[in-house]
Amino acid sequence: MAASDSLRLVALPLRTIAFGAVGATLTFVGAVAGDSVYILKVDNTTNQDLIGSLFGTQDEYLLPSQSGMIIDVTANKTNNAQGLFFPANIRFAVRHQGVAPTSGAVGVTYMVGDNR
């Protein structure tokens, strides 16, 4: 396969939310990813365990304090030639579990394919 036929993996700008903006209901972390996402990286540097949601509609992930999470859907083989990916326009959201954090932040990085 020629390099011109392949996608290059690039990170979109980091999205962050400071500890004071993490509420009891799901709050979005930055702007939507405008492209299909192949790798999602979330870092919780707050002093509280948080709940995360890929689309901001339901509780999906436990994000322990001072930890990170990487979901690499490109590691999974599919029968579809396009492979597996998160759809365009996802927007990660977080909430606390009853005790609001008093320090830190949440950072979200979306990795997308770029054929330029």
Question: Is there a contact between 41 and 90 (Cβ–Cβ < 8 Å)?
Answer: no
**What is the C-alpha to C-alpha distance for residues 80 and 24, in angstroms, rounded to an integer?**
39
Looking at residue 80, what is its pLDDT? 62
Q: Which residue has the higher pLDDT, 44 or 7?
A: 44
Q: 36 lies in which domain range? A: 3-114
Looking at residue 109, what is its pLDDT? 97
Render pLDDT for 45-69 as a digit per residue (tens, 0 to 9): 999 999 999 999 999 999 999 999 9
Global pTM exceeds 0.95: no
CATH code for the domain in which residue 67 is found: 2.60.120
How many domains, in total, are found in the chain?
A: 1
Residue type, 71: I
